[in-house]
Amino acid sequence: MSNLQYARWLMGTSLAFHIVFAAVGVALPLLMVIAEWRHRRTGRPEYLELAHRWAKGAAILFAVGAVSGTVISFELGLLWPGFMRFAGPIIGMPFSLEGFAFFAEAIFLGIYLYGWDRVSPGFHLAAGLVVAAAGATSAFFITLANAWMNHPAGFDLVLGKASNVDPLSAMFPQGWGPEVVHVLLSCFAATGLAVAGIHAFWLLRDRGSAFHRAALGIALAVGGAAALLQPVSGDFSARNAARSQPVKLAAMEGHFQTQRDAPLLIGGVPDADAGVTRYGIEIPYGLSLLAFHDPHAEVRGLLEWPRSVWPNPLLVHMAFQVMVGLGSAIALVALLAAGLYVRRRRLPDDRWFLWAVVLAAPAGFGALEAGWMVTEWGRQPFTVWGVMRTAESVTPVPDLAVPFWGFAALYLFLGAVTATLLVRQIANAPRSPVPGGAP
């Protein structure tokens, strides 16, 4: 591979690893706060035990996320000096504010972990809320920086250099709202369904466990609500792309020909050389309707632009299909859970339903990873859309294969250690009967 390819693979691998811990850092603190709040409302011991264990899990994941996030911050400067030299003066503010949110999360996580019986119950619960808010705020600011890379704003380009920089305009570019909402919802949906799947698995083995039953209820409530809202935010994101990045939308949909009454493709394999997407299932008027809320609207195709500015339609389309498919799967599970709960007035615990939750558990993170691939691959060949190409951003330092394989090994090691520690937190959970069956 070329130096540029190794740089992209190294950055992509780092982000794919880190995003899991970043997403859990957003959502898991909320789950632990809800568990503690439920304990203080009901006095039931399983909620207290759950808050303790989720807090320890949050601490483990926070530590690993801090390591992987630090690696990424160094990689930005070492792998992409051209980008940092150009973008640093423009979008330095969200990166700095994310640092403040990170430190606030670390401080109050320490208070939460070691403040049991040392601070007042109200202050302890408030500390947990700060942890949850700080985690979401970190994701908010990082997503703003990514939104700017897709919609650069807040500066004038004079002779290839940025001038007249307006930091606030840069921090809130066009389309920042839908992207931020979509990212935050994906964190809650992925984490909530993953946690629900873990506890559903253990509940299948120990049907009388009040601990796992309580955990399943909280995780499904948070993750399920986010999963049901996610398609709505996805609609806003797609319409924003149709207006501001039509070439990206065309790659996402495998859409080559500009046309009205454009059909929506389900599946299919884009053939860039032939300018067609083969084997897909067409839904008449679907793409025009989704992109512009008008079944007869014109949707521009990839062939309208020179191929030098195309994203890779095969990669982007496939990642988009995976994201939509897995996101739809967890939304259906969430809808099923909500329907059963409303009908029965209790948390469903049928074996078939628990198995459905178990099978859906990894789908949220699969959709999350695929969605970030759509975002990053869809912006290529630019680092800053329409302003700076990725080839202009990369370091001239050769032999990037060495750090790529070295960091890949590091991530495998960290992943194995983290998984081992988390399994120990769950596997030895207390077993206690559930009076009457439902929490």
105-122 pLDDT, tens per residue? 999 999 999 999 899 999
Assigned domain for 378 exists: yes
How far apart are the C-alpha atoms of 197 and 213, rounded to whole Å? 11
> Which of 31, 25, 41, 53 lies closest to 430, judged by CA?
53
Residue with tokens 């990894």: 362
Assigned domain for 62 exists: yes
Assigned domain for 18 exists: yes
Amino acid sitting at position 207: R
Assigned domain for 433 exists: no
429, pLDDT greater than 70: no
Assigned domain for 197 exists: yes
pLDDT score for 227: 94
pLDDT score for 207: 80
At 391 the three-state DSSP class reads helix
Of residues 421 and 25, the one with the higher pLDDT is 25
CB 98 within 8 A of CB 141: yes
Dihedrals φ, ψ of 205, to 5°?
-85, -25
pTM given for the model: 0.90
Q: Which residues contact 368 (CB under 8 A, 6 or more apart)?
A: 19, 20, 23, 186, 187, 190
Assigned domain for 437 exists: no
Interval 175-187 mean pLDDT = 92
Dihedrals φ, ψ of 140, to 5°?
-60, -50
Domain count, the chain: 1
Whole-number Cα distances in Å, 286 to 128, 242, 262, 282, 424: 44, 14, 7, 8, 48
Average pLDDT, the chain: 89
pLDDT, tens digit, 9 for 90 and up, residues 202-235:
888 888 788 889 999 999 999 999 999 999 998 8
CB atoms within 10 A of CB 23: 27
The packing angle between helices 121-150 and 363-379, to 10°, is: 30
Interval 177-186 mean pLDDT = 93
Assigned domain for 434 exists: no
Whole-number Cα distances in Å, 423 to 17, 168, 409, 429: 19, 44, 21, 10
How far apart are the C-alpha atoms of 6 and 119, rounded to whole Å? 50
Under the banding of pLDDT at 50, 70 and 90, the label for residue 142 is: very high
Assigned domain for 370 exists: yes
Cis peptide, bond prior to residue 167, ω within 30 of zero: no
Under the banding of pLDDT at 50, 70 and 90, the label for residue 434 is: very low
Q: Domain span at residue 281?
A: 3-427
